[in-house]
Structure 1
Amino acid sequence: MMLKYFVVLCVASWALADEKYTDKYDKIDLDEILGNKRLLQAYVNCILDKGKCTPEGKELKDTIRDAMTTSCEKCTEQQRKGARKVVKHLKEKEPEYWNQIKAKYDPGDKFQESYEAFLARDD
């Protein structure tokens, strides 16, 4: 009985470890969004619950907290690259947006060390 429980637990853990966010929006043109203040503001407003969301904005809003708390472990390779690109842009060029996002999704800076380490990696 105990062995059966252990096998089920291992299989469930393996299945969850392989879970990824949808790659449906991996081809979105981040440069276009980052280069267009109006578009960028619309996405930021979406994830901050200050405006309407496009389908891809809603997907981002639904996963951002989990991605920040897990250092993007469920992200596809494209999503990891995109996350680093977007956050680097926000921190350097739109720090007020980055600070608002951090305040909403990591208000006590509990996960700052882990996502800063993720952002610094180059994988």
Structure 2
Amino acid sequence: MDTEAIIIHYFTTIAETSIIRMRSLIVICLLALVGITLSNPIETYTDRFDNIDLDEILDNKRLLIPYIKCMLDQGKCSPDGKEIKKNVVEALEHDCHKCTPTQKKGTKKIIRHLINKENNYWIELSHKYDPDRHFVGRYENELTEH
């Protein structure tokens, strides 16, 4: 073998070794990322009440008013009312980050209904849960029907 062939062989071997090491490093990084992601899934609120028929509640004041009274500390709370009340401020402040997709859709439906059809209650709830109006304006802008 001549000198040129030896040099080419040497650098080819180094390049192949570097590629193998780089691929190994990429695989290790991907596995670490998957492990971290699986060990720290995004926490969500309980989905225990995701199957509640919101339309039935929103269309029936006899069903709706007890939930509102619960939220305003003016009445007893059902188990689902307690769960909502426990998480309402965090959920609204952070755009329902921990909500399931069903809860995100339901939250907007409820807020839209309160703003447009039960505005006095919306105002009371807004004063209670966001007296400085840090986040309710965002919902009012998005969900008010014109």
TM-score if structure 1 supplies the norm length? 0.79
2:129 corresponds to? 105
- Computed over aligned residues only, the root mean square deviation of the Cα atoms, in angstroms, reads 2.2
TM-superposed CA distance for 1:39, in Å, is: 1.1
Question: What is the identity percentage for the equivalent residue pairs of Structure 1 and Structure 2?
Answer: 48
The structure having more radius of gyration, on CA atoms, is: 2
Q: Which has the higher contact order (CA 8 A, sep 6+)?
A: 1
The one of 62, 82, 97 equivalent to 1:58 is 82
Q: Greater shift after overlay, 107-116 or 90-99? A: 107-116
1:69·1:114 contact (CA, 8 Å) conserved in 2? no
Q: Letter of the aligned partner of 1:28 in structure 2?
A: I
* Regions of 4+ moved over 4 Å: 113-117
1:47·1:57 contact (CA, 8 Å) conserved in 2? yes
> Any stretches of 5+ residues in structure 2 without a counterpart?
1-35
Q: Greater shift after overlay, 104-113 or 40-49? A: 104-113
TM-score if structure 2 supplies the norm length? 0.67
Q: Residues of 1 paired with 2:131 and 2:120: CA distance?
A: 15
TM-superposed CA distance for 1:67, in Å, is: 0.6
> Any stretches of 5+ residues in structure 1 without a counterpart?
1-10
